[in-house]
Amino acid sequence: MTDLSGQVALVTGASRGIGAATAQALAAAGAHVILTGRDTKALEAVEEAIFAAGGSATIAPVDLAEADGIARLAQAIGGRWPTLDILVHAAAVLPQLTGVTDVDAKSLANALTINASATQALIARFDPLLRKAKNPRLIYLTTSVATSPRAWWGAYAASKAAAEVLVDCYAQEVRNITPIRVAIVDPGATRTAMRAKAYPGEDPKRNKEPAAVADRIIALLGEQFASPHRERVNQPS
């Protein structure tokens, strides 16, 4: 098992789904996990589950759409911990699936803000703390439509593609001058609320649990992968 004892990890979108499962897996591996998301009660439930399992966590509610939310989060974390070892960016919003000609401007702007602009802001604000760590890693959760767009997914695909390009460029910019390593992970079909929203008629039992993705992320954190690293988490056999 990957031993993350003594390391500090920040997980966005930690209130449910893959984010919550990853936060619990990080804590089980020994990391102190900072849980962030919009739903305070849901974050508290994840925190309680971590405590019950003998782990360590802190909740830090924040809305990634707020103009200064990420700046305040970085300031609070930087004031308490000298470094950040792991950043797992799992938070995202799924706008309505519709044709490009029918995309709602406000919905598209919100998706670009949360999925793309917030990604850049997280990188910018936490880069200083990551650089201070001995073995810093950034894990970004993407989607297949970011690189293989398809009909009706234009708004979501565009926002995630923009974010993915930012993450990839950042990885290339820092790989030769810092110890920061970046992985872009496509979780694949997973049993989450977002997946249910996108595929309402699908049998959720056909898809893997969020814990399967979390387990792969923990294993990846124990590997010396080249940066930027890309992979898709397949259905367990």
Give the residue numbers marked as catalytic. Answer: 156
The torsion of the CA quartet 104, 203, 206, 49, rounded to 10 degrees, works out to 80
Residue among 164, 174, 63, 76 nearest 119 (CA)? 164
Identity at 140, one-letter amino acid code:
Y
CB count within 10 Å of CB 207 equals 19
Residue among 23, 10, 74, 79 nearest 51 (CA)? 23
Cα Rg for the chain, rounded, in angstroms?
17
Q: Who's near 20: CB < 8 A, 6+ residues apart?
A: 14, 42, 46, 210
Q: Which two tokens stand for residue 76?
A: 């609070």
Contact 216, 25 (CB under 8 A): no
Q: Which two tokens stand for residue 100?
A: 């490009």
Residue among 214, 236, 235 nearest 16 (CA)? 214
What CA–CA distance (Å, rounded) separates 215 from 221?
10
